Amino acid sequence: MKKRAYRVFFIMLAVVIVLPLIAALSICFAIPPQYSETYLGELAAKYERLKDTDGAKIILIGGSNLAFGVDSATIEEYMNMPVVNFGLYATLGTKLMLDLSKANIDKGDIIVVCPEMDPQTLSLYFNAEAAWQAADSDYSMLLHVGRDNAGEMFGGFWDYATAKIGYFVGEELSPTGVYTKAAFNEYGDISYERPYNTMALGYDPNTPISLKPDIVDDEFVEYLNRYTAYAKRRGATVYFSFPPMNRAAVEDTGDKTLSEFYGYLSSKLDCEAISDPRDYIIDSGYFYDSNYHLNDAGIPIRTMRLIEDLYRAENIYEAVEVVYADIPEPPTSNEGEGSDIGKEFTETPSDMFTYEDFATGLTVTGVKGEAVGYDTIVIPRKHEGKAVLAISAGAFKNCTNMKTLVIFDNIIQLYDGMLSGCETVTDIYLYNNDCTKISIGTQLLSGGPKDVVIRVPYESFGNYAADYFWSVYAGKLGVISMPDGN
């Protein structure tokens, strides 16, 4: 009897576990794509162009530095070969892009691998949830996901499926601006207007660039070398190049450091490193909203540098001119003025915070006085006439009772680890209708409570959830209020 009871118990347990998964699987694949118009939705178009471009071609593989950083039509004109811009999003991981590119590698192909210079992109990092979202419009891409990532894909399906179903039955994703599928042209380049540098400091302090060997994972090198061998067997040539890098974000631009880094890569990689990192360290005025994203004036610089490198590698003896246009000046800033959004909250007195200078305003670095015991802290718009623009890492580490943090639209920079050391916070009220106006990194919530919710305006929820930077926190997002005020 005991054995039978155990069998019945485990059968029932299996049913309880498996049935919801089967239901989610069935519904998820039956409903229309929900991510097709998002930035990640562009991967299906890039994949289709790759498959449909037969014969010798140039395939550019990497992250968003390619989406924001090349003019493929110009490369095509100079090289007299069709170009597939197969760079999209660092969060997908370089490995996934390498794996997917195997869908159509032909004899005579030139493959240029140029990931961001970051430990994540120079590793075998893989983000299953992002991969599911990117494949939402074309599940055939899943056939080329590495078998070694199958377990991660299985584990990430539930979060993807529940989110997709939630968008279908509730508020659909409605992204606008540069981080949408509509911003791309037929080559896979971002064609959305990007006239000047939008970063308050001219660079993003959350993503410093260190060009040292320790950012390169040995397993990544081995994987890229195996990929190079595979491409060679198919009759293709693989080259390694660099992304454009914001000079203000590079920690050491000395010749010795850069030469050692280039030498290290050249000695480890089986493919030729055709570029000099010095040529890809570019003045901050040519960047847009990231240390790797170029604005309109910066694109021709990187494009012609890459053509120059390809000419040299392919023994094409023609002169290539790299022209540096005038650095575009951003318009006069009104940062820190904010609006009356969130007026139901009263600002915590500005003299209860500590500050340091930030661009034309101030960064909140800490909380002091009786405010350390407040359960609600509201970041002020100004202090002694200067705009409060940013919040630093560990700014709330002394807060012993803070449950709610309120941030108005004067804040334009949130540093990684902002909540580090604060164990009590449950809700962040972020009163900004435009998510692109706030610069963040991938470790914003690092060191804080795991169950914290970032509440944003209801009408902006879809943009936050689909945004290039904020989508990392999609599972942490909530709304400040529903249309009926609830």
Domain coordinates in residue numbering, the chain: 1-30, 32-313, 350-479
Distance CA 123, CA 144 (A): 19
Residue 227 confidence (pLDDT) above 90: yes
Under the banding of pLDDT at 50, 70 and 90, the label for residue 29 is confident
Residue 321 corresponds to which amino acid? E
Q: Which tokens is 175 given?
A: 């992204």
Distance CA 275, CA 61 (A): 15
Each residue's pLDDT tens digit, 308-350: 999 999 999 999 999 999 999 988 755 555 566 666 789 999 9
What residue ranges in 78-122 does DSSP mark as E strands? Answer: 83-87, 110-113
Bridge-based pairing state of the strands 386-391 and 382-383: antiparallel
User: What topology does CATH give the domain 32-313?
Assistant: Rossmann fold (3.40.50)
Contact 269, 221 (CB under 8 A): yes
Distance CA 135, CA 169 (A): 20
Q: Spell out the residues 6+ positions from residue 312 whose beta carbon is closer than 8 angstroms to its own.
A: 274
Residue 16 confidence (pLDDT) above 60: no
pLDDT of amino acid 2: 54
DSSP single-letter state for residue 347: P
Residue 424 confidence (pLDDT) above 60: yes
DSSP single-letter state for residue 474: G
Residue 486 confidence (pLDDT) above 50: no
Each residue's pLDDT tens digit, 114-169: 999 999 999 999 999 999 999 999 999 999 999 999 999 999 999 999 999 988 98
Q: Spell out the residues 6+ positions from residue 297 whose beta carbon is closer than 8 angstroms to its own.
A: 285, 286, 325, 326, 327, 328
pLDDT of amino acid 21: 55
**Distance, CA of 479 to chain centre:** 22
pLDDT of amino acid 485: 44
Contact 307, 332 (CB under 8 A): no
Bridge-based pairing state of the strands 281-282 and 272-273: unpaired
Give me the residues paired with residue 276 across strands: none
User: What topology does CATH give the domain 350-479?
Assistant: Rossmann fold (3.40.50)
Lowest mean pLDDT among 56-70, 130-144, 171-185: 171-185
Reported pTM: 0.88
Contact 151, 34 (CB under 8 A): no
Contact 377, 399 (CB under 8 A): yes
Give me the residues paired with residue 113 across strands: 61, 240
Main-chain dihedrals φ then ψ at residue 481, nearest 5 degrees: -155, 150
Residue 73 confidence (pLDDT) above 90: yes
What b/e readout covers 179-200, taking b as 16+ CB neighbours within 10 angstroms?
bbbebbeebbbbebebebbbbb
DSSP single-letter state for residue 59: E
pLDDT of amino acid 80: 97
pLDDT of amino acid 44: 97
Q: Report in angstroms the alpha-carbon separations of 323 from 191, 192, 248, 303, 415.
A: 20, 22, 21, 10, 35
Residue 384 corresponds to which amino acid? E
Contact 84, 58 (CB under 8 A): yes
Rounded to an integer, the average pLDDT of 177-194 is 96
Q: Which tokens is 227 given?
A: 């990929």
CA-based Rg of the chain, rounded to a whole angstrom?
Answer: 24
Rounded to an integer, the average pLDDT of 274-284 is 98
DSSP state letters, 199-252: -TTSS-TTS-B--SGGGS-HHHHHHHHHHHHHHHHTT-EEEE----EEGGGBS-
Task: Give the closest residue to 98 by CA, choosing from 60, 56, 138, 49.
Answer: 60
Lowest mean pLDDT among 6-15, 113-122, 253-262, 275-284: 6-15
Domains 32-313 and 350-479 in one fold: yes
Bridge-based pairing state of the strands 361-367 and 386-391: parallel
What b/e readout covers 410-448, taking b as 16+ CB neighbours within 10 angstroms?
bbbbbbbbbbbebebbebbbbbbeebbebbbbbebbebb
Coil, helix or strand at residue 322? coil
DSSP state letters, 354-394: EEEEETTEEEEEEE-GGGGG-SEEE--SEETTEEEEEE-TT
Task: Give the closest residue to 432 by CA, choosing from 395, 403, 469, 402.
Answer: 469
Contact 318, 232 (CB under 8 A): no
Q: Give the 3-state DSSP-derived string for 8-25, with helices as H, strands as E and coil as C.
A: HHHHHHHHHHHHHHHHHH
Q: Which tokens is 446 given?
A: 């690092």
Sequence-separated contacts (24+) of 464-469 with Cβ below 8 Å: 464/435, 465/173, 466/35, 466/38, 466/39, 466/40, 466/173, 466/174, 466/175, 466/179, 466/180, 467/39, 467/175, 467/179, 467/435, 467/436, 468/39, 468/64, 468/89, 468/179, 469/435, 469/439, 469/440
